[in-house]
Chains A and B, each alone.
Chain A
Amino acid sequence: MAAALRPAILRHLRIPAQAQSLTMDRSAPILSSLVNRIRSMSSHGDEHLTHEEVVDRVLDVVKCFPKVDPSKVTPHVHFQKDLGLDSLDTVEIVIALEEEFKLEIPDMEADKIDSCPLAIEYISNHPMAV
Chain B
Amino acid sequence: MSITGAAGYLGRRAAQKERVRILYRTALKDALNWAVHRHLFYQDASELREKFEANRHVEDLDAIDRLIDDTEAHFRNFQHPDPYIVPWAPGGSKFTRNPPPPEGIEIVYDYGKEE
List chain A positions with a Cβ less than 8 A from chain B: 34-35, 38, 42-44, 87-88, 90-92, 94-95, 102-104, 107-108, 110-111, 128
Contact = CB atoms under 8 A, between A and B. Distances in A.
Interface stretch (B4-12, B66-74, B84-92): B84-92
Contacts of A94: 25
B75 interface: no
B67 to A, nearest CB: 15
B52 A88 contact: yes
Q: Which of B17, B24, B49 has the most A CB atoms < 10 Å from its CB?
A: B24
A92 B100 CA distance: 34
A90 B89 CA distance: 23
B109 A91 contact: no
Contact of B88 (A87, A111, A128): A128
Interface residues of B, number: 25
Nearest to B108: A34
Consensus secondary structure, chain A interface: helix
B33 interface: no
The 9 closest A-B pairs by CB, nearest first: A104-B89, A104-B86, A91-B25, A107-B22, A44-B100, A91-B24, A88-B24, A87-B21, A91-B21
A128 B88 CA distance: 8
A110 B108 CA distance: 41
Contacts of B89: 103-104, 128
B47 interface: no
A27 to B, nearest CB: 14
Contacts of B18: 111
